[in-house]
Amino acid sequence: MNAKERIVSLTKALKEYSHQYYNENKSLITDSEFDFKMKELEQLEREFPEFKQSDSPTQKVGAPTQSKFLKVQHKYPMKSLSNTYSILEVGEFISRVEKLSGKSVLEYIVELKLDGLSIALHYENGHLIQALTRGDGEIGEDVTQNIKMISSIPLTLSENFTGEVRGEIVMPISQFVRLNSERHYKDEEPFANPRNAASGTLRQLDSQIVKERNLDAYIYFLQSPESYGISLHSETIEYIERLGFKTTGIFTKCTTLSNLEESIKKWEKGSETLDYETDGLVIKLNDCRLYTELGMTAKSPRWAIAYKFPAKRATTQLLDVTFQVGRTGVITPVAELEAVLLSGSTVRRASLHNFSEIERKDIRIFDRVVVEKAAEIIPQVVSSIVEERTGIESIIERPKVCPSCGSILFDVGIAIVCKNRTCFERVKQQLSYFVSRQALNIEGLGEKNIESLLQKGFISTLSSLYDLKDRWRELLELEGFGEKKVVTMIENIEKSKTISLSKFIYALGIPFVGAVTAEILVDSFHTFEAIRGASEEALCDIYGIGVQTGKAIVEYFSDRVIQEELEELLSKGFEFSSAVHEVIEDGYFSGKKVVITGTFESYKRDELKELLKKIGAQNITSISKNTDILLVGKDVGSKLEKAENYGIMIMTENEFKLKLMEMRDSI
């Protein structure tokens, strides 16, 4: 391939990679591979400028926006930083800055480079008026309404500030794990990583989804700091924090390359302890007065550079596919890989999620594939590298029978399911889930012990765990079950019978019911009997429980086999505690179903929900004929018209406050 052909090929490929990354929230190749291809194109364009394409990605940041959001021209272009993976290139950056500035001793600030979605926030007289994504660097998307749903972004500042700040929208790793767990329950495609989850969430047309997913924001840049009498970047961070913005609080002042190298080594390890994803460090000249003097290249400022950490993705070969049986009978395909080092550990297996994902991504046995650790935890196959196929690759066939029990498999939505309730692997996973730390937390009953007890016939159901105390002599005869171990195990099993009701509900493994949903159920119904007797309509009226979840709960408790097992389980003597909010039983709002719409001057949405619980109201999400009150703030939507059509009481924020004043002695 000659220089012209290579330039054309790289230009086309990099444009497609950028489109998928910025508009589709998909990463077709690793960041480092993208950066190396971009550097190769830049080098070729310098050597053969006559072949440079007019739409070359070397001259653009990001990709043209293609969403339904309003496109807006940035007042100041949002440039990207030039990247390096080498401390030697950091030294070259320092030399360039010293040469351009004419100064031999300069101070630099080292900050964490968050792996999220860049945002520009515009304020006028201390009030948020607009929020724009990066887009292609020149034109971004107006996502103001969604940004208002992120609690860490202040709508009103502590000072009368007019101007622009920039930062990063991220999804905390803990929230990412919880969200993907919920998506797994719902047989929905999991997010590949927190960055994709944050980007996909912020582009939702329904702002309530943004609110529910608990995004976070960290601000790191003030546009035109000299306008505010600020000359150092370190001072801009202090000013940003004073205005009320959240920053990482992590930055180091350095004056030498050795100082910078120490910071790099420190944070390559230290960043792994944080609850947000980072992909490197930003090294930035501290003296803001030199920014204009040093200027910009077509894409990047000359006064800053990004040092990228070693890749959290890697490429390897997919050697085979095996199949795991989950506790609900869902069959999960697992990639068996040629061993590869990823984020400090050797990876030989990775999730392929489901067959719809395999088919959509066109992944085949013997493909070269991109592997990633989602939030540094779960290895997964992100994509295949089609360009490297040799012809030996083969289609991954759907299994027809369960790999554990041999039963015929069934298609249920996008999942393939074993419906045999006595399937060994399925029962093992159910029991392991029931005793896990997040559920009943029965220590001494790990998966290996569960498997051994199942194989020997000591257990077969959840309730059978509580019969082990009557067979302790027989347990002592098992290999690996000494007296101390058996005594401790049985004591922990007995202790587990005193448990919070929400943990017990979670431990049952009801489809779509995770820890948060379990707490919502307990807060709403208070008792196990009320929860298992609730109608689908009553469940769907609860804020945080959708139609799919409500239907799944009713189906679970209606199942005859499950009913019998639950009766047997409850007969073992469980005592439930519940963290139900103290409720005013006889107040004006007691028992009333209240829908909230709009924004409120005196309350954040979460505060209002908690207050409604305290005064005995039931907060629901949608208007129906059974709704008692629509509580309205500013900027209300279609719920108001629907409530008026049903003849539902409309209550303003001030009217709500007056009612609370009447109840003051009761609260």
Give the global pTM: 0.52
Going by C-beta distance under 8 Å and a sequence separation of 6 or more, which residues neighbour residue 556? 508, 510, 511, 562
- 484 is a catalytic site residue: no
| pLDDT for position 584 | 54
Delimiting residues of CATH 1.10.287.610 domain(s) in the chain = 3-59
User: In the CATH scheme, what is the code of domain 424-496?
Assistant: 1.10.150.20
User: For strand 304-308 and strand 83-84, is the pairing parallel, antiparallel, or unpaired?
Assistant: parallel
Distance between CA atoms of 337 and 331, rounded to whole angstroms? Answer: 19
Delimiting residues of CATH 3.30.470.30 domain(s) in the chain = 71-308
| pLDDT for position 212 | 81
Pair 123, 163: CB distance under 8 Å: yes
Tell me which residue of 541, 510, 512 sits closest to 528, measured CA to CA: 510
Between CA 452 and CA 460, with CA 458 as vertex, the angle to 5 degrees is: 90
What's the CATH fold of domain 500-577? DNA polymerase; domain 1 (1.10.150)
| pLDDT for position 378 | 67
Between CA 44 and CA 52, with CA 46 as vertex, the angle to 5 degrees is: 70
3-state secondary structure 254-299: ECCHHHHHHHHHHHHHHHHHCCCCEEEEEEEECEHHHHHHHCECCC
Delimiting residues of CATH 1.10.150.20 domain(s) in the chain = 424-496, 500-577
Q: Read off the tokens for 506.
A: 């979670």
Pair 3, 47: CB distance under 8 Å: yes
Going by C-beta distance under 8 Å and a sequence separation of 6 or more, which residues neighbour residue 412? 187
- Which portions of the chain are predicted below pLDDT 50? 62-63, 65-66, 375-376, 579-583, 665-667
For domain 71-308, the CATH architecture is 2-Layer Sandwich (3.30)
The domain 313-418 is classified under which CATH number: 2.40.160.20, 2.40.50.140, 2.30.30.30, 1.10.3210.10? Answer: 2.40.50.140
Find out if CATH 1.10.287.610 is the number for domain 3-59. yes
Between CA 320 and CA 278, with CA 182 as vertex, the angle to 5 degrees is: 75
Find out if CATH 3.50.40.10 is the number for domain 593-662. no
| pLDDT for position 42 | 77
The partner residues of 365 in beta bridges, in order of sequence, read: 394
* pLDDT tens per residue across span 478-503: 888 999 999 999 999 999 999 989 89
Residues 278-293 as b or e (16 or more Cβ within 10 Å = b): bbbbbbbbbbbebbee
| pLDDT for position 283 | 94
| pLDDT for position 579 | 45
Distance between CA atoms of 550 and 620, rounded to whole angstroms? Answer: 13
Q: Which of 60, 113, 211, 503 is catalytic?
A: 113
